[in-house]
Amino acid sequence: MTLYKLGRRHMVGRCFASMVKCCVARSEVVPLHRSITHVGFYIGPVMEPVIAEIKSSEYVTHDVKRFVLTRPKGLKFVPGQGCMVAVDEDGWRNRWRPLTFTSLPTARSLELVVKIYASHQGVTNRMSTLRKGDRLLLKDVFGTIKYQGPGTFFAAGAGITPFLSIFRYLHKNKAIKGNTLVYSNKTSHDVIMDDELAKLLGKGYLKFYTRESVIGFRDRRIDRDLLVALVQNFDQHFYLCGPEAFVHDLERMLRDLGASSASLVFES
């Protein structure tokens, strides 16, 4: 697969937007409301849409649905990559949205883990109505986060999806040791694949909630003090994925605390 490596975070957003614009010509341009940073951005070859049938689907939290799909022949990806997805129904085929594969690159089925925005008539809300036998369209595999070596992963909410595939892959290859996941969610009910992450990462799995509001439990944003306590060594890889503000704040704090550009932004 031809891969193009691009640079820093501000470039990532811009390049992703232009990639999306060029790939979905005459389609609705996708909004970027999740940002991904610091290990480079890879765009695979432009791919004609292929059909993937839903084999099963289930809610894994109150607003996150997991889809297991048939794997179109020839579709290849590496952990951390995703593709553009549309619902194969009249009126929906040109509404492409970026989603990340959470399955292993060698698995017979594909898996998507999708946060459903039920408050308006968007694509994820439409996906919430889909079941076994319904179909999705997939095109244009793109890379966002690529594993560079042991480090600390910071995820918020559905930002866990590229890391799920990476952790599953590392675990399968007995290489997960030395990695830590710091996972922030509003409440414990929002944690995606909690049991699996605990099994995969063991003591390297740390959770924080911003709005748990349970007596005896202290809500905690990932701030500078917490970073100092959590990260003793800033000379390591940092992987960030989540809402733009989350990624932006963490990047700034990590830099302030001595993380080098090389550890935050992929460079060959």
Ligand X SMILES: Cc1cc2nc3c(=O)[nH]c(=O)nc-3n(C[C@H](O)[C@H](O)[C@H](O)COP(=O)(O)OP(=O)(O)OC[C@H]3O[C@@H](n4cnc5c(N)ncnc54)[C@H](O)[C@@H]3O)c2cc1C
Site map for ligand X, 66-105, x if CB under 6 A? ----------------x--------------xxxx-----
106 part of the interface to ligand X, by CB under 6 A: no
Site map for ligand X, 43-62, x if CB under 6 A? --------------------
38 part of the interface to ligand X, by CB under 6 A: no
Element containing residue 6 per DSSP (H, E)? none
124 part of the interface to ligand X, by CB under 6 A: yes
Q: Which CB sits closer to ligand X, 18 or 125?
A: 125
In the complex, minimum distance from the CB of residue 40 to ligand X, in angstroms, rounded to a whole number? 13
DSSP line for 103-162: S-TT-SEEEEEEE--TTSSSHHHHHTT--TT-EEEEEEEEE-----SSEEEEEEGGGGHH
Task: Report the relative pairing of strands 151-156 and 237-242 from DSSP bridges.
Answer: parallel
33 part of the interface to ligand X, by CB under 6 A: yes
161 part of the interface to ligand X, by CB under 6 A: yes
Q: Which CB sits closer to ligand X, 17 or 206?
A: 17
What angle (nearest 5°) sits at the alpha carbon of residue 140, between those of residues 135 and 146?
Answer: 115
Could you say which of 26, 73, 120, 131 contacts ligand X (CB under 6 A)?
Answer: 120
Query: Residue 179: exposed, middle, or buried by beta-carbon count in 10 A (0-12, 13-18, 19+)?
Result: buried
188 part of the interface to ligand X, by CB under 6 A: no
